[in-house]
Each structure stands twice: as C-alpha cells, then as structure tokens.
A and B are shown apart, each in its own frame.
Chain A
C-alpha cells in the first residue's frame, strides 16, 4: 500500500492534466460516480457526518491493524471529494492518518469546498476521520 504522501502526489498529478475548473470538476464527478455505494446499513443517522448540506455517511473499521474508511454522499461532487479523502487516508495506520497534512486539496483547485465558512461541511468530514483515528488510537 502506497503511503498517504504518495497517494496525494498521485492525485495532484492526475488533476494536473486538466487546465480549467470544468475539466477538474468533470473528473471529480466521474470519480464520484465510479465509487461503489456504501452498504445501506451504514446510511443511517449514526454514521452521518453533521454539518454538510448534502448527506454524508462515514463508516470505519480496523482491518489488519489499519484504519479503513468507507463513505458516501447523496451529492455527486461531495461524493467525489470524500472519495478522494477516503482514497488517500483509508487503509493506513492510525498514526500516519493523524500526522497527515492534506495538501492535495489546495493543489487540485477544490479548496473552496473546504472553507469552514461553507455549509458543505467537508471540514467536518476530515475532522470526523481524524476523530475516529484518535478514538482507535486511544483504544489501542
């Protein structure tokens, strides 16, 4: 499994192929559509990430000592973005997740989605992912 850092670089390279916002967003939308949906049993209030205008669900588990994320949203751009977050962070050790600086978001030109003043709550998504990691670390 590639490191979080390597995965971020891969995404940046991937998005650098597109010159304008339209290409980037279309790529994001396609990526969102390519992701398999979250199992319905996790699409409940218990798994909901609050603070998003679109619904966002996040499920986590530890597999072979690594934290695995699965997420879904009823909005496709949101699903694309959380899909990228999952792609980067999932299946890594808790410490690596906690120590990560998610610089790829700035680099690929979707930063406006992560402004804490926007009501789309992706900041809550990242926070939630790190809280899970912290929780597992505390338990371990």
Chain B
C-alpha cells in the first residue's frame, strides 16, 4: 500500500522545468501548464514490461484497448498482499481477515470516488465488464423484461454488449433494436429517437467504441431513454482508462468496466448501479456472502453490495485495482486527457500521410483508439509485419462483427494508445506501416 506521502510524489511525473516560470500566480495557471507536461518517459519507468525487446526490436505496445500494462505499484501491491496480508474477507474474526476485509472495502471507496458514485454500496465487484453486463441481463431479465419489450443497443457495440441481451431476448421474447452508425463512426441519433418508444425497457451502449474510438454522447442518450422510462446501461470498459467518468453527472443507471484495461489486474471488474435499482434487482449468483439467512424453505439475501457478490471474490485483484486507481489519480485525468488528445492528433496526422492508408471511422469525438486499413492488404498481413518489428497492434474484427459488416470489411488494424505511449512510438508505427506497404507491394 502506498502511503499518501508517496502518492504526492506524482508531481515528479510532471516535468519540473515546465513549472519554473516565476509568473505563475494562480493554481489554475499552474495546472494548465502541468496538463501539457505529463512526461511519458518518467511514466514508462513505472511499467517494467515496456522495457524489453520483441523480435529484436524495442517493444512498441499499441494494444491497450485489448488490455493495458501494469505499473510496478500494482504488481507490488498484489505480491505484498499474498506475501503478508492474504486471508478470506467478510468472514473471519481473526486479525488478518479483518485487515484484508478493511483494505478490500477501501478499494470500493476508491472506485466510488473515481466514478463519483453517490454511495460505496453502489459499487459491485465482478470479474469484468462482460460479467457485469451478464449480471444485468440476467437479473433485469427476471425482474424487468417481458415479451414484447424492447432493448436498444448500438451498431458499434462489443459482442459482450450484444450477446447477453440477445440471450435475454431469446428467453423472454423481447426484441433487440439497433442504433445505426454513420460512415464516420458516429451514432445516428435521429434513428435512435425513432427506435425509442414506450416499449423500450433498456438502452445499453458503449461509452467509447473499442474499435473506432468514438466517444458516445451519453448525456443525450441517457436523457432520451429516461424520457421513455427506459433504464440505461453503459459499457465503460474503453472509457475509464482514458477519461474521467462521473456517473451522477451522466445520470446513467448502470455503468460497467474492467480493471485490466485500466492498469489493474485481470479478473476484476465493476458494476455500478443506482442504489434503488440495485435494491430492486434480484441476485445473480447464489452462494456464500450474498445471504443474510439461509433455511431450506427460504433464503434472505444480504444487503448491497454483498447481495451481488456470491463466493470468495478476487481479493488480490481488488487490491491491485485499488493501486491502479491510486496511480491514475496521481497522474490526474486532466493530464491524461490532455496528453492523449495531443498524442491522438499527432498519430492521426501522421497516419493520414501514409499512401493508401484508410482510417475506419473519423468520429466527432475520439478516444486514443485508431482503426485503419492499408490499401487492399489484409489486416493480418499488416499486423504480422508490424509484429516482426516489435509493434503490438490488434488485427481482426475486435469482437465487433456487426460493425465490420456495417463497413463491409472483415477487420481492421487497430492501434490503441495509452499515456505511456510516445510520439516516437507513433513514428515507429508509421515507419513500420511504410515497411509493410513496401513489402506487401
């Protein structure tokens, strides 16, 4: 566990030379300068995995959309937990269990603060975004959906925000409706208006598209859904690593995300839900921890958040998530957003300069995720040649096959960046693509 003193050392990530201007009088001015000055080379030193060669070249890791790397603070927290602190939580009367419980519950508080939820018990720990959405589809399916109801998703959704709802529709006789995407990768909001009606029960959309980087206009989507009395579920897996999220401001009913895409360990995720809605929702998994009293005649369920947390959770993963949140907050979302905005515009400008390169989607608002095709070449060919040069990108349909169908393509090459990526790495990517272009002919 890092002490608060250590956390304050985050200032070292911000280049001190930038703050030497004596004219700085207000905090606001100082912040503006700090925003431009997040130093990726200092940050990179916190991520041991980045310092290695792959296929004889320095690793350029541009597959953050699939999973981000982990800072040493996260890795150390997990080791320390297993070396000194492990015990089952919410159970024992002994000291270790008590301490582990306390620390695990502290993480819930950190998550609450990170997304500005109103209460800690609105934060449910799951295995990841996929499980969070499945939990909702299952529990809402038993309490809020019946034949003839309608569920709306968008055309750019990840399969994990399509298939759980399809399963629910098959079981309940509800209908799945789809908000189309335009040529640039923006949602067609006019069509959304037409899809909404008094039969709409759930609207479930991404905050950020994992394939195109599109940032969806959530406030508008939420407001219109609520006007029809529908609940709104947000898949925030691709947003939390890049931007500050305020669930109260968004006014969404549920928000789901994964630890492993936000610099934490795999196997942990979050489901946020509004208190009254979670209280109404029937449990998902049954087991230990989620009950208050069990008899063979009837079981009374535990209160929030435990009602949805059956069995021993991924305690170490939760601790690691806590360290990841500390890390993000020490950097500051403002700094991360400003840095990535600059990196994105540099990358877009450089990529557009490559002959025959076609960007897939140029949305109005874009997170640090870029999909492209190179001439007529198959994405897997481009990806293989980039891989030979130590550049990790993702190729394929990115678990968004309906979106690929929308653009009439089988897949894309996707470069997804994080705050530890640099403009130099963009240059290496560009040179790597040029090499692929000349080799593939």
Chain A residues within CB distance 8 Å of chain B: 21-22, 25-26, 29, 33, 53-55, 74-78, 112-113, 119-120
Contact = CB atoms under 8 A, between A and B. Distances in A.
Interface string B413-441: 00000000000000000000001000111
Main secondary structure of the interface of A (DSSP, over half): helix
A22 B439 CA distance: 8
Contact of B440 (A29, A119, A120): A29
Q: Which of B380, B385, B387 has the most chain A CB atoms closer than 10 A to its own CB?
A: B380
Contacts of A25: 384-385, 388, 439
A47 B440 CA distance: 26
A109 to B, nearest CB: 10
Contact of B378 (A22, A33, A76): A76
A48 to B, nearest CB: 13
Main secondary structure of the interface of B (DSSP, over half): helix
| Interface size of B as a range | 10 to 19
A74 B410 contact: yes
B229 interface: no
B384 A77 contact: yes
A107 B109 CA distance: 55
A53 B440 CA distance: 18
A22 B381 CA distance: 13
B380 A75 contact: yes
A22 B378 CA distance: 18
B377 interface: yes
A53 B396 contact: yes
A109 B308 CA distance: 50
A54 B439 contact: no
A73 B435 CA distance: 22
Given A53-B411, A77-B381, A21 B55 contact: yes
B159 to A, nearest CB: 15
A130 to B, nearest CB: 23
A120 B384 CA distance: 10
Contacts of B387: 112
10 contacts: A21-B388, A22-B388, A25-B388, A25-B439, A29-B439, A53-B379, A76-B378, A76-B440, A77-B385, A78-B380
